[in-house]
Structure 1
């Protein structure tokens, strides 16, 4: 290729990961750690809140769902905004909002006001997650895209585990309000680092036709000496016309429809399972006769398994067929969920199985994010990824909300886990179907 021509689509593919990409990974990891901390905190706060305010588990339903409703709305709105105004400033504004509204939660004295504050915190969280995923995907070499996206998602599981460790001590030393204070102050401290070090996507800069000087500076920041005043920039990525990129409707155009619907269905089911466990596992375990400490430990084990799974699934997806790996992980979720139902009497065995379940469940969900980032071109990537999150959050809403109902039915922990195996088996089938259809479409026989 002419040395004066720089194709941003293949620019980074044959080069080692540079300083700026490592910076994006580290910042993404920190953002998702705080997101995991803030998202999972209600599951750990709930027992103390029940005791302090003297309310029933059923009363917690709206509170548990409010943050997730906010997550869904934030996800659906933030993608189109990021495709128009840029990934960087949407991420910074969203992290700031998370800190402010989570801090506000600490000063609420009623269930309704706390529910409203959790909703607003969720809107901010919903805007950060898909856009940091999009930015990571656009900064990564194609050969390592899945690894970098899912590696950052280790932070989500790490943040959830950290929340379990910290919340137990904070609640014992102070009160449940201290958990909200911690979850609010940390994002506000991170905002300054984001303003200084978080870059904008070079792909997005070219798409928005920024000045040649800015493009040269951005390219040289990624790879020093790669561009000059005579460099011509282009993007050989799949070309889409203006008619095909108008808002979320573009996600259901012929070229993207099947992948969109199958990834949406898998995310819906995967998040239903995850958010039921994240919000209700400590209470469910307590109701089954385990101590509070054991119940919290199970929640931590789930997140630790997820953090490890998020990292390793990217390695597998970059090496093997990505859809196959994600489908296998969802099938593993169903298997370990059923095993927990069968062997729920032993805490040691349940803890081991919960770790394995966290590993495959978080792997499968993170894998769906990577599938979404790879499925869409730059003009609609942030919208596509954010709607994957948003649809998944609808499943999360139902998962958290149904827990308020299911846990009042008097079911055993075995009965509950048998029910939870159904949605992840549906998710495994959806991704397997996507793989089979696309494999058939791309096969030599299909081309003849």
Structure 2
């Protein structure tokens, strides 16, 4: 009996010839993040209008922002752990249906209680969809370009967030804030239907789970249509198979503890500034200008995420220090927003300042998100990304709270933005520590040596079952 030929699936992925297949996965994940971003930011674009319609103190809106963050935090962790059991594909579809349905329901809210409940449930799905998309595209892209593709996904997210701002600027004053939630819900459900018929499962996940080789062969043929799969060929992955116990515990084993904590703190501090601006900028600006201009300026802040792919390109070449510099420099445009408002700067200056702030705040955060998908092995990649998102949401909870506190204390607008920029500096310091702990450019030097294990054919292979 002839010996089986064993082939590392990483070699197939890195040499795939049917780039349309990976491109289609990238496009589908971008669609998910587009509606994810629209539905997530819809509450921020409509907040000033809702406060005016319901004639309420703006500080009382803080629990709605918290419901958003807590739901997102819970969803990112729960859906990621579910995905490591039922697959990236099914988890992503479920998350998309959830956030779309409850976003539509928000259009029927009549008070803070039901609005908060709907927003919490929608955010469970919003938080779950993003790490699924990141893990899926990371599993199918060439290792050399993984950071670029992951950050490129956020082009879709940016289309949703920026488009939502410009759409809100046109619709809220004419048809009301409710229409924004209805548009987001309907489009999201349509995208979920498309995913059911077109989204593939991760081939890496299938191997880790021990799926039959016949299923794996189908995906190999889609990546390399002319590849000759000889009888008895067995594909494997140089990582651990699914293991017993709580997956999150593996984030702290084999030398991963320090890098995990530094990643969490870097994201957490970044999210304090991120959510301070995202949640409160429209409400603060509404004291100075009409709502249509408010939402356009907020949209320009979100447009900074359009350049997230640049950070992926730079991270692939220069590593984590790219994020370190971005975070440290990013405090400057955040502070300038406050000075521009007090100085009576014109509309276009504010637009440019908001764009610069968004480039550093959001672009740098996207870079950290990409790093979270590069430093963990496949069997905990979803959990690693999801846990990082969940930990970061603790910082995100502080963003709305910081804004509410500063407003309650009647802190001058300039000092609000000065204080709001401080977490950016702290995020940069943590990113510096992370770069000293794990070298993304040279993964063989990382404490846990995951990349080296992937490339050594006789060490810890996890073949699928026939």
TM-score by length of 1: 0.93
Q: Which residue among 337, 341, 346 is the counterpart of 1:340?
A: 337
Matched residues in 2 for 1:297 and 1:255: separation?
Answer: 45
The residue matched to 2:109 in structure 1 has which SS? coil
| 8 A Cα contact 1:267 1:392, kept in partner | yes
1:72 aligned to 2:69?
no
| 8 A Cα contact 2:12 2:224, kept in partner | no
Matched residues in 2 for 1:165 and 1:297: separation?
Answer: 6
Matched residues in 2 for 1:87 and 1:112: separation?
Answer: 33
| 8 A Cα contact 1:158 1:303, kept in partner | no
Matched residues in 1 for 2:185 and 2:15: separation?
Answer: 40
Q: 1:241 to 1:96 in 2, by over 3 A?
A: closer
The equivalent of 2:161 in structure 1 is 160
1:423 aligned to 2:417?
no
5 Å-filtered alignment, 1:264-343, equals 264-287=264-287, 289-307=288-306, 309-321=307-319, 323-343=320-340
- Between 1:7-16 and 1:258-267, the stretch displaced more is 7-16
| 8 A Cα contact 2:208 2:241, kept in partner | no
- Between 1:32-41 and 1:86-95, the stretch displaced more is 32-41
TM-score by length of 2: 0.89
1:232 aligned to 2:230?
no
| 8 A Cα contact 2:259 2:437, kept in partner | no
Deviation at 1:404, TM superposition (A): 2.6
| 8 A Cα contact 1:134 1:385, kept in partner | yes
- Runs of at least 4 residues off by over 6 Å: 440-444
| 8 A Cα contact 1:273 1:424, kept in partner | yes
Matched residues in 2 for 1:182 and 1:349: separation?
Answer: 31
Matched residues in 2 for 1:153 and 1:252: separation?
Answer: 28
After superposition, the C-alpha distances for 1:247-268 in whole angstroms (9 at most, x for unaligned) are: 2121122421111111100111
- Between 1:86-95 and 1:224-233, the stretch displaced more is 224-233
Deviation at 1:24, TM superposition (A): 1.1
The equivalent of 1:130 in structure 2 is 131
RMSD: 2.2
Deviation at 1:174, TM superposition (A): 1.4
1:93 aligned to 2:94?
yes
- Between 1:195-204 and 1:403-412, the stretch displaced more is 403-412
Deviation at 1:293, TM superposition (A): 2.9
After superposition, the C-alpha distances for 1:90-139 in whole angstroms (9 at most, x for unaligned) are: 00011011111111111121210111010000001111011111101111
Deviation at 1:15, TM superposition (A): 4.0
Deviation at 1:295, TM superposition (A): 1.9
- Between 1:405-414 and 1:115-124, the stretch displaced more is 405-414
5 Å-filtered alignment, 1:238-257, equals 239=240, 242=243, 246-257=246-257
Matched residues in 2 for 1:93 and 1:5: separation?
Answer: 35
Q: 1:5 to 1:123 in 2, by over 3 A?
A: same
After superposition, the C-alpha distances for 1:190-232 in whole angstroms (9 at most, x for unaligned) are: 0111011111000001111111111111111222133354321
